[in-house]
Amino acid sequence: MVAINHGTYNAYTNGKCRCTLCRKAASEYMKKYRQTEHGSGSARYYAVLQAKRAQLAARWVKKNRPDVWETIASKANKQIDKTRYVCE
pLDDT per residue over 36-77, tens digit each?
988 888 888 888 999 999 999 999 999 999 999 999 999 988
How confident is the prediction for the chain on average, in pLDDT? Answer: 89
**What is the b/e burial string over 26-49, where b = at least 16 CB atoms within 10 angstroms of the residue's CB?**
beeeeeeeeeeeeeeeeeeeeeee
**Res 21 pLDDT > 60:** yes
**CA-based diameter of the chain, in Å?**
62
The pTM (predicted TM-score) of the whole model is 0.50
Q: Where are the domains of the chain?
A: 1-35, 50-88
Packing angle, helices 20-34 and 37-64, rounded to 10: 100
* Cα–Cα distance measured from residue 5 to residue 11, given in angstroms and rounded to the nearest whole number: 6
